[in-house]
Structure 1
């Protein structure tokens, strides 16, 4: 589905030159908390300077695009050539197409939820401001100060007939102190009490990608998604009909990628964002060769003198081909850790990935 790919350019032109727009995840791809992922900022500045527009798309509904942008500026991302969209904005866009302008909508979550509703021409109403006039819908997003009373109010409103939109269903929020409940866990609490089902707009649903692509003004075939999570970024890209670059600088590891179901398999793989500057060779065109061998005894062997990027592609393509043929593939964690060390992937990852 590559926008400008030809037979001659396949695998020779830099990946960033094959598309007219990039939708990029943030935490684990561009930064890890307050720290930039090595080479990510420099790569982004180069591709935007070369004319590739970027939209950063995040499931984090609590922060406003301005707040995210200020974070990127502090890290050194150039001021031009990019914008930010959040799942709160996707929720607001969904409702703005269905409600009258100025319609009251209950906003539960961080400040990004109410701001997105205002920008979309709707009237955000906090739980403490609810009165007998009611609201037509409720948007539930993550916020560190969300209370039991607010969750109960969501349930009451949904039970009373209000449309319920959830920004995302991420069950877990990685933090510097360890895993914490994500918005999906809070949504699940309301679902348990009401048996209702919300309309979801965040990754891996297509709505956030569609909104980002609208910002870019690109067709599906001209748009590339970059992310570090298979279950949100890559599966979402596939659901939106977009090509994707999976990077191993964040949450998911090589073993996860090797055993990913077809719905969560990316078009490309790279150690980190510098993969945008490398030749774009789709994984489905990578023919397993002498670099990697899966023996009849299900032992994965790699040449020690191969180029690491090509070895990485060959490992993934070899394993996928074997799995699709019904062959056995080793699932030993220690073996996959050794492969990561051989490919120097352990340098790209970190255990300190925090709120997305």
Structure 2
């Protein structure tokens, strides 16, 4: 069985070699807080050296792209060959097409929100300035110092007829200390005070993908998306007609991936960003689906770490041999086949976490 799994792809070139550009998420893929995700910096150095263009597209609207760029360089990502777009820019572009130049827009969130509005020719307004003149719209994005007063004002101006644009609806944000509330949690809080619903521009909506791809200058078939959230990165890539690589270094875990419905299933899977440099095989097409048995507990049987045919290593799929990368593909393909055939899979997270450990995939802090 080990030899069969090792040769399922029949391809040896790096996965990224099949594409002309990469749209890459940040939180949970390249870094968690001030800490680089394992293998992310080394992978970016390789992409830069090989002249692979990258656009980092993030739903986190709190920081301007320049600040994000400083963060990336600060953790060791080589300069050049990449740029940053965020959902604040997508929100500003959306409103700039609909409002007169200079229109007043209430900006809620970090500095990235106001900067994006100003760069798009609109006038960002903070909460203390709301009584000076009416605003035509409000952009609500993430910010670490958002106050109750600011959130209450969102509901008030929306009830008064202003257009409500949310940069994204991510409920959580990965940090070095675990999950923290994301912009979606704050939007949900505001929605308790109004019957209105915001127009959302961030992932999984197409606006941010379109903005990122325009920076790359690539056709959909030549563009790969890499992300760690099934409901944003992967669902959005599928909706935009783009191939995707899902990495297990962020918020969504193996259990989520195994139980995913078809709109949330990625083209490829890997432990982390290093999977871009490994030979890739599209999981649904992999014959590995027939190589692992489904155990009585509802999870695929994974060979033990001391099996002589198994080389676990770092789990990033970029080492020699088939390692845990091909086993990860086999686990996912087996789970999807079972789910599509109506066979029961484990719903509890614990057995899937055990599979992650067997595959050498590091647990989140």
Contact 1:254-1:340 at 8 Å conserved across structures: yes
After superposition, the Cα gap between the structure-2 partners of 1:188 and 1:338, relative to the gap in structure 1 and judged at 3 Å, is closer
The unaligned stretches of length 5 or more in structure 2 are 1-8, 311-321
Instruction: Choose which of 294, 301, 309 in structure 1 pairs with 2:325.
Output: 309
Aligned to 2:256: 256
CA RMSD of aligned residues (A): 2.0
CA contact (8 A) 2:203 2:236 kept: yes
Q: Which residue is 1:69 aligned to?
A: 69
The question of 1:342 aligning with 2:331 is answered: no
Q: Distance in 1 between matches of 2:280 and 2:55?
A: 20
> Paired residue for 1:233?
233
- Checking the alignment, whether the CA contact within 8 Å between 2:32 and 2:174 is kept in structure 1 is no
TM-score, normalization by structure 2: 0.88
CA offset digits 1:38-62 (Å, max 9, x no partner): 2211111211221211011111111
Q: What is the CA deviation profile of residues 209-233 of structure 1, one whole-angstrom value per residue up to 9, with x for unaligned ones?
A: 1111111111111111111111221
Query: Aligned equivalents of 1:281 and 1:80: distance in 2?
Result: 29
Q: CA deviation at 1:148?
A: 2.2
**8 A contact 1:300–1:330 mirrored in 2:** no
Q: Distance in 2 between matches of 1:290 and 1:144?
A: 47
Distance (whole Å) between structure 2 residues aligned to residue 80 and residue 154 of structure 1: 38
SS at match of 1:190: helix
- CA distance in 2: counterparts of 1:184 and 1:256, whole angstroms: 19
| 8 Å Cα contact 2:226/2:233 also seen in 1 | yes
Alignment partners' CA distance in 1, 2:77 and 2:176: 23
Work out the CA distance in 1 between the residues paired with 2:242 and 2:289.
Answer: 28
Q: Normalising by structure 1, report the TM-score.
A: 0.90
Counterpart check, 1:90 vs 2:90:
yes
- What secondary structure does 2:153 align onto? helix
Q: Which stretch shows the higher mean deviation, 68-77 or 42-51?
A: 42-51
**Corresponding residue number in structure 1 for 2:293:** 293
How far the C-alpha of 1:114 sits from its partner, in A, is 0.3
CA distance change for structure 1 residues 10 and 155 in 2, over 3 Å: closer, same or farther? farther
Larger CA deviation: 170-179 vs 144-153: 170-179
Point out the more displaced range, 109-118 or 120-129: 120-129
Q: Distance in 2 between matches of 1:152 and 1:25?
A: 30
CA distance in 1, matches of 2:145, 2:101: 28
| 2:118 equivalent in structure 1 | 118
- State the match for 1:151 in structure 2: 151
SS of 1:89 mapped into structure 2: helix
Rounded Cα–Cα distance in structure 2 between residues aligned with 1:108 and 1:250? 26
1:327 aligns with 2:343: yes
Range 220-229 or range 288-297, more displaced: 288-297
Partners of 1:172 and 1:185 within 8 A in 2: yes
Once the two structures are TM-superposed, the CA of residue 204 in structure 1 deviates from its matched residue by 1.9
1:316-347 per-residue CA deviation (whole Å, 9 max, x = no partner) reads 111101111112234454432332122111x3
- Paired residue for 1:5? none
Distance 1:108 1:207 in 2: 20
CA separation of 1:262 and 1:127: change in aligned 2, threshold 3 A: same
Answer whether contact 2:25 2:226 (CA < 8 A) is retained.
yes
How far apart in 2 are the matches of 1:255 and 1:297? 13
Residue 11 of structure 2 corresponds to which residue in structure 1? 11
Distance 1:289 1:130 in 2: 58
Question: Aligned ranges for residues 154-193 of structure 1 at < 5 Å?
Answer: 154-176=154-176, 179-193=179-193
Per the TM alignment, residue 113 of structure 1 is displaced from its structure 2 partner at its CA by 0.4
Residue in structure 2 matched with residue 127 of structure 1 by the alignment: 127
The aligned residue for residue 213 of structure 1 is 213
The 8 Å contact of residues 300 and 334 in structure 2, kept in 1 or not, is answered as: no
Partner-residue secondary structure (3-state), 1:245? strand
**Cα distance in 2 between the residues matched to 1:133 and 1:60:** 29
CA contact (8 A) 1:291 1:311 kept: no
Q: Which residue of 1 aligns with 2:139?
A: 139
